[in-house]
Structure 1
Amino acid sequence: MNSHRRIAGAVVLCTSLAGVGTAAHAQGSVTLYGIVDSGILYTSKTLNPATGQNAGHQLSVITGGLSPSVFGLKGTEDLGGGFHAIFNLESGINLANGGVADSNGNFFGRQAWVGLTSDMGTVKAGLQYSPFALSLIASDPRNVSFFGSGVPIYIGGVFVTGIFNSNAISYSSPTIAGLQGSAMLALGGTAGDFQAGRQYSARLSYKLGQLVIDAAMYSGNPGGTAASTPTPSTVAFSGRTIGASYRFDSLTVRLLFVNYKIAGSFDNRVYGGGFSYEVTPTVNVDAGVWATSDGNDTSNHSIMAATGLTYSLSKSTACYGQFGFVNNHGAMNTGLSTNGALMGVRGSTLGADVGIRHLF
């Protein structure tokens, strides 16, 4: 009799534990996600890094023609009381050779942070995007395409500084009456030298109906532990931006101004504008123009224009084609493509890319 009771008790206990395990699992989740994007790039001129002169036209396979190729893990856990623990790990991938790309050169060099979120806002700690970079992403006329947009202008000037910020702590407020703010402080990580590698950034965005206005600033020092990343991520520069977008049904129009200033080097003022139009649910066309001028020497200036068409084969897969033009004067070296043609040469360059992108 006692043995039967012990067996029955064990069954009840195991069933209860299984239920607890199921309930705990239901409160949290981890998602694997990514983008795989590859294309063929053509430019009529190509920079020779050794001489700074034109090396001729190129035709090459590139990774990330429209957007970066990445994979990542993100997760959340319900802690109760309206609080959730969150995390994100993200790596860039070079589809052309299987290496690391479009990051600071480390394996999880795009994002590696953990945080808490609630109705009072979100706090994150670790490698993360700055509010300045997020503001530029929201305001770019061509949705931050890696070809013919503000992306090659930014990275061609200061590499990934301000995009992937190591040793960072950030806070984003909830949206109140259409207004949201965020701030970030990245500590340099060098003992005895608080200013080495120190970076800070702030952003304020306002939404009223279909109108969005976004402004942000960034300031960073060289040095610190992040200076050892394979891709420079602590170039000393300050940045300021303000942008606006308005959506008319299937048409979105965007305007922005950005200032990238490096002491003793350049003071680039970038004026951009463009549109994105959903022709059908599967076809999207866009176009943009960017004029860049060096405030320290106005003989250094460039103008870039680009347009693109994206055709969605499914919710996850799309083919694209893009065409662009850039004209550089003086010492300006604006390139057409983040991957494959980051730096340009003096005079006019034509370029195009076609490719395919899949989301998972």
Structure 2
Amino acid sequence: MNDRSHLTIKFGVGVAGIVVAALAHAQSSVTLYGVADAGLLYTSRTAGGGAHQLSMIDGGMSGSHFGLKGAEDLGGGLKAIMTLESGISMANGGFANSNGNLFGRQAWVGLTGGFGTVLTGLQYSPFVLSLIGTEPRNVSYFGSGAPLYVGNVLDTGLFNPNAISYTSPVIGGLQGSAMLALGGKPGDFQAGRQYSARLKYDMGGFTLDAAVYSGNAGGTTAMTPVPSAVEFTGRTIGAGYTIGNLTAKAVFVNYKVAGSFDNRVFGGGFDYALTPALNANAGAWYTSDGNDTANHSIMTAAGVDYSLSKRTLLYGQVAYVKNHGKMNTGLSLNGALFASEGSTVGATVGIRHTF
């Protein structure tokens, strides 16, 4: 073999090495994921004060949805990421648990690396993510802070279109995030404008989480199938502690809607893994209208779930709410979002599969 052949082989090996390295840096993946959740709901009274009801509902524990997650390694610890997520009703196959659009839950693209994460597009607000983190019953759609949130401000702050957000890396247990949603229209930049910020501390099983939110009426956020432009300000602070199989959480939330109520919510509860397959949780929430304390409610709830596999579980939940004055706190995000003055008892049983 002559010198030219040796040079050719070495050159070819070198080029192949560069190509393999480049492909390694540019590795990408797309993952299909989702939740299918359906159950039966019973309430002793309907929102209008009528007789009891029994109905099939979508999302007795969590909203049914599916989505795509994508990531591409750009090298140097930098990744491009994206998510498209659509809500769906297990009852009729239509859109649900979102703002009514095809990918009405999440539709964003961004970059993540050592500097933190930047996202652009339809996304959850830091305020909502803080409430999820401090929810004692794992944000169950029945008997938790979830129906309280939607009952107060609908989808506002939950699904934020035209949003840009930044989340810092974790430094000494601290992590911060901020979001600005550009919901304006020509000649009125403030219409539909939404912003939110969050600061979280997590160390040794203890978590402290606080967030704020402010949103204006109008703009493009009012044009979605389920309008998400209720003009309100939100404040929350919560804490949690995990020891062994037990996690306890407490939270305060303030929903102040312009020209309407000023609800203060005090909540707390626990989640306990009895066995690897059997889990139990319970919580209580007291809501009072700061503008008129005669309007108040107390809601309590408890639930158990049993895992048939890593992806499929059966669940059962019970809850009680008592409303005073004009307060209309309901038991379930789907099927019983509001309740009448007086006492209402409810229960759900269902099945949930994740993929």
TM-score interval, smaller chain: over 0.9
Residue in 1 that maps onto 2:252: 257
Residue in 1 that maps onto 2:166: 171
- Given candidates 281, 294, 302, the residue that maps to 2:297 is 302
Residues 1:199 and 2:194 are matched in the alignment: yes
Deviation at 1:55, TM superposition (A): 2.2
Deviation at 1:264, TM superposition (A): 1.3
Residue in 2 that maps onto 1:345: 340
CA distance in 1, matches of 2:343, 2:75: 59
Conservation of the 8 A alpha-carbon contact between 1:128 and 1:168? yes
Deviation at 1:24, TM superposition (A): 6.4
CA distance in 1, matches of 2:190, 2:323: 36
Aligned with 2:274: secondary structure?
strand
Residue in 2 that maps onto 1:3: none
Q: TM-score, normalised by structure 1?
A: 0.92
Residue in 2 that maps onto 1:319: 314
Residues 1:112 and 2:107 are matched in the alignment: yes
Matching residue's letter, 1:267:
D
The residue correspondences of 1:1-360 to structure 2 (distance < 5 A) are: 23=23, 27-47=27-47, 53-360=48-355
Matching residue's letter, 2:168:
S
Change (3 A) 1:21 1:344: farther
Deviation at 1:326, TM superposition (A): 0.2
Change (3 A) 1:354 1:30: same
Deviation at 1:26, TM superposition (A): 6.8
Residue in 1 that maps onto 2:4: none
CA distance in 2, matches of 1:350, 1:152: 15
Matching residue's letter, 2:272:
Y
Deviation at 1:115, TM superposition (A): 0.1
Residue in 2 that maps onto 1:9: none
CA distance in 1, matches of 2:176, 2:322: 37
Residue in 1 that maps onto 2:5: none
CA distance in 1, matches of 2:53, 2:278: 29
Conservation of the 8 A alpha-carbon contact between 2:26 and 2:74? no
Aligned with 1:154: secondary structure?
helix
Q: Which segments of structure 1 move beyond 6 Å, counting only runs of 4 or more?
A: 19-22
Conservation of the 8 A alpha-carbon contact between 1:269 and 1:294? yes
CA distance in 1, matches of 2:29, 2:203: 33
CA distance in 1, matches of 2:268, 2:77: 40
Conservation of the 8 A alpha-carbon contact between 2:26 and 2:73? no
Task: Output one character per residue of 1:174-206: Cα deviation in whole Å (capped at 9) or x when no partner.
Answer: 000000000000001412211000000000000
Matching residue's letter, 1:282:
A
Deviation at 1:230, TM superposition (A): 1.2
Conservation of the 8 A alpha-carbon contact between 1:171 and 1:182? yes
Matching residue's letter, 1:41:
L
Conservation of the 8 A alpha-carbon contact between 1:227 and 1:233? yes
Matching residue's letter, 1:36:
A
Matching residue's letter, 1:355:
G
Conservation of the 8 A alpha-carbon contact between 1:46 and 1:54? yes
CA distance in 2, matches of 1:189, 1:154: 24
Aligned with 1:174: secondary structure?
coil
CA distance in 2, matches of 1:160, 1:256: 20
Deviation at 1:343, TM superposition (A): 0.8
Conservation of the 8 A alpha-carbon contact between 1:167 and 1:189? no
Conservation of the 8 A alpha-carbon contact between 2:26 and 2:75? no
Deviation at 1:172, TM superposition (A): 0.0
State how many pairs are aligned. Answer: 343
Task: Output one character per residue of 1:37-92: Cα deviation in whole Å (capped at 9) or x when no partner.
Answer: 00000000111xxxxx3121110000000001010000100111211000000000
CA distance in 1, matches of 2:281, 2:297: 21
Deviation at 1:227, TM superposition (A): 0.6
CA distance in 2, matches of 1:124, 1:192: 26
Tell me the percent identity.
Answer: 67
Deviation at 1:21, TM superposition (A): 12
Aligned with 1:257: secondary structure?
strand
Task: Provide the alpha-carbon RMSD of the alignment.
Answer: 1.9
Deviation at 1:20, TM superposition (A): 6.3
